[in-house]
Amino acid sequence: MKILLITQNYLPCIGGIEMQTRQTAQEYCKRGHDTSIAAMNFAAYRGHPRLSILHSSLMAPKFSDSKDGDIQIHSLSPKNTVEKLKLLPLALRILPTPTPKIYYSLHKFCFPAYKSLVGPRLAKLMECVDVVHSLAADYIAWTAEQEARKRHIPFVCTPFVHPNQWGDDPENVSFYKKCDAVIGLLTTDTGYLETLGVSPQKLHVISNAPDLPETVDGPGFRERHQFGNLPIVLYVGRMMPQKGAKAIVEAAPKIWEKVPDAQIVFIGPGSPDELAIFEGADKRLHYLGKVSAQEKGDALAACDIFCMPSLSEILPTVYLEAWCLGKPVIGGMAHGLPELVEGNNGGLCVEQTSDAVANALLLLLENQTLREKFGEGGRAAVEARHSNAVVVDKLLNLYSSLIKSNQSKKA
């Protein structure tokens, strides 16, 4: 099977979608499928927040095609000034818009400029392709779907919709209805897509999968950071407020009243403003910044509780990784997280307040039996529904079904 994956960003731009795309593509290659990835942006944005909307189009840094192991990586980023000029109308997107209706109208107006550059490139990449799968919505996915439809190639989309935040605007909803299949990571996810008008016949629940190093060394992590046998609460993620890092910092004094030796470890990037929460912090708070995949895996193996009470997630891969190592998870109340965490008996979901976070952490810090129960519940859920083998089997079966149906229509 020849598979083309579409994603807005790819490594070295690091995020959950990028890592999941890579892991899935690697497994396709191992199983003998010719797999390539097309992306627009390959670098994290460091500029003014107002301009970030252009980072995956007009302001995407130039990047060349490359290889990632057996995976062919195709860059869609503008290569020169002429190509950037093609995308110049997209600069209108930074204009303030007084109403959502005007914003969506402007967004739709700018799309042809994007398509004029990216469409021909994707058309060339789709020669002899059996299936196209977009792990993104918006411009790049709209363009890919139109080019795939012209060539009668089955088109799949995993949109990662965050309700009332992104991905559920009228233009994207119209796009989902045109896809041959739309993937939700959880039943909560597909249920929401159905309420938007996507046909239930097109909807499929296929999870993400954990991505851990082959071996992890919890004792080594404890020794390197001089934690000994002290209890460790771990947070891994960007330090943005919606993920809950600040709420954990604010909960810490309440935790230390009852568990004074608890160590709280934070891993992940953050802006200077976001990192201000660690200024003058108690020595029991440890900010390690961005670390290697190995160090992250070792930290997960070392911790007693994983805590990320996020307000903005669908299915955080790091929850699955914690469960693989038998760790209980304290999650947030983002759409779908209670289904994932409490529905799998893998931990607790709480409001993002210092009191709620502190109470949940104390409940688990003071109850080893409950920690073990939640850790084992999460591990069982990963083995049954979220392992890489299970996820890739479901994806390949979906592709094969769509290809077979497409061939029947042609006949």
Q: Strand, coil or helix: what is 68?
A: strand
164-168, 365-369, 406-410, range with the lowest pLDDT: 406-410
Q: How much is the pLDDT for 410?
A: 66
The mean pLDDT value of the chain amounts to: 94
411 confidence band (pLDDT: 50, 70, 90): low
Query: What is the distance between the alpha carbons of residues 194 and 70, in angstroms, rounded to a whole number?
Result: 37
pTM beyond cutoff 0.85: yes
Kind of pairing between the strands at 155-157 and 181-184: parallel
Q: How much is the pLDDT for 44?
A: 81
312 confidence band (pLDDT: 50, 70, 90): confident
What is the mean pLDDT of the segment spanning 116-143? 96
Burial 24-44 (b: 16+ CB within 10 A, else e): bbbbbbeeebbbbbbbbbbee
Q: How much is the pLDDT for 240?
A: 87
Burial 300-338 (b: 16+ CB within 10 A, else e): bbbbbbbbbbbbbbbbbbbbbbbbbbbbbbbbbbbbbbb
Question: What percentage of the chain exceeds 90 in pLDDT?
Answer: 84
| Residues in a beta bridge with 67 | 72
Phi and psi (nearest 5°) for 31? Answer: -90, 10
Q: Tens digit of pLDDT for each residue in 385-399?
A: 999 999 999 999 999
Q: Tens digit of pLDDT for each residue in 247-293?
A: 999 999 999 999 999 999 999 999 899 999 999 999 999 999 999 99
